[in-house]
Amino acid sequence: MTDASHDLRAADLSLGYDGRPVVEGLELAVPDGRVTVIVGPNACGKSTLLKSFARLLRPDAGVVTLDGADVHRVPTRRLATVLGLLPQQPIAPEGITVADLVGRGRFARQGMFRQWSSDDEVAVASALRSTDTLHLASRSVDELSGGQRQRVWIAMALAQETDILLLDEPTTFLDVTHQIEVLDLLHELNRERGVTIVMVLHDLNLAARYADHLVVMAGGRIVVEGAPDVVITREVIGEAFGLESLVVPDPVSGSPMVVPVGRFHHVPPT
């Protein structure tokens, strides 16, 4: 779907709510065509950072640019053809069907004189198929399971046909099976269609497994970023999360796996 290359970055970015600073002087360049995962303790500013990338939050200082242009200066609708967003808790209007919801992903492609077209229908059908939700098209979103519903929301973002997709904790409230299902789907999108993915995740081990580029944040700044097997160390986890842990290779994927210690256990002597 996407061959275009994009440059999404934050320069000297400071963010806050009502004058209370959350993120200060942050620099981040999102690697094009890769999966970037942002992790960090609660209130470290990771969701805030994602919001500013999605132009939901105006910076107090600094700038977020997409291909050199300030995201707040690009018309929202035009930006929505390049940059897609799945917020943490989107709202499904009561009684809406899956096909109708996913169809709303096409808003930016429509206009006063360009109503619903066969292009839109194709895009929606293709989004439903790649998220394995086509058979749910006529069902009401209220009736779906959590995993199905999350796949439908991702289908809506896919129907938008953007080259970059931002997701704020797409696996929250899902059981482990559905978490893996959603992350596999995003991985597939990235590998098969070249969609650049930036997401915030809570689970360190899943983050380490699915990220090409891992960003560890704490206290409103980036502690370290890079490939997961370089970034995830005992020291980094200690510094960012204040947690004593052991880092071992994940027996399935080989990616680093964080095993927390806690007050009632000890690291076995080696």
Partner 1 sequence: MSVATTDREIVATGRRLARRRQATVSLALTAMLGAVAILALVLGDRVIAPGDVITTLLGRGSGGDSFIVLGLRMPRLLLGLMVGAMFGLAGAVFQSLFANPLASPDLIGISQGASAGAVVAILVVGWSGPAVSLSAFVGAVVVAGLILLFSGRADAAGSRFIIIGIALAFSGQALIGYLLTRADVRDAQSALVWLVGSIGTVRIGELLTTAVGGGILVVALAALSTRLRMLQLGDEAATGLGVRSGPTRLLLLLVAVGLAALATAAAGPVAFVAFVAAPIARRLFGGRGPALLASALVGAVVVGGGDLVAQHAVSGLQVPVGIVTGIVGAPVLLALVAGSNRSRGTL
Q: Could you list the residues that contact partner 1 (CB under 8 A)?
A: 1, 51, 54-56, 76-81, 83-87, 89-101, 103-105, 107-108, 118, 121-122, 124-126, 128-129, 134, 137-138, 142, 156-157, 160, 166
Give the nearer residue to partner 1 in terms of CB position, either 101 or 217.
Answer: 101
Let me know: does 215 contact 221? Beta carbons within 8 Å. Answer: no
Give the nearer residue to partner 1 in terms of CB position, either 172 or 205.
Answer: 172
Let me know: does 187 contact 35? Beta carbons within 8 Å. Answer: yes
Tell me the closest approach of the beta carbon of residue 96 to partner 1, in angstroms: 6
Give the nearer residue to partner 1 in terms of CB position, either 35 or 86.
Answer: 86
Tracing tokens 């209370």 back to the chain, one arrives at: 20
Tell me the closest approach of the beta carbon of residue 171 to partner 1, in angstroms: 17
DSSP 233: -
Contacts by 123-129, CB closer than 8 A, 24 or more apart: 123/159, 123/161, 124/99, 124/155, 124/159, 126/158, 126/159, 127/102, 127/155, 127/156, 127/158, 127/159, 128/98, 128/99, 128/102, 128/155
Give the nearer residue to partner 1 in terms of CB position, either 28 or 159.
Answer: 159
Tell me the closest approach of the beta carbon of residue 61 to partner 1, in angstroms: 21
Q: Determine the residue type at 92.
A: A
Q: Alpha-carbon distance 231 to 208, whole Å?
A: 9
Q: Alpha-carbon distance 212 to 228, whole Å?
A: 7
Give the nearer residue to partner 1 in terms of CB position, either 120 or 181.
Answer: 120
Let me know: does 14 contact 59? Beta carbons within 8 Å. Answer: yes
Tell me the closest approach of the beta carbon of residue 89 to partner 1, in angstroms: 7
Tell me the closest approach of the beta carbon of residue 87 to partner 1, in angstroms: 4
Tell me the closest approach of the beta carbon of residue 63 to partner 1, in angstroms: 18
| CA nearest to 70, candidates 144, 137, 11, 21 | 11
Give the nearer residue to partner 1 in terms of CB position, either 96 or 224.
Answer: 96
Alpha carbon 9 to its chain's center: 15
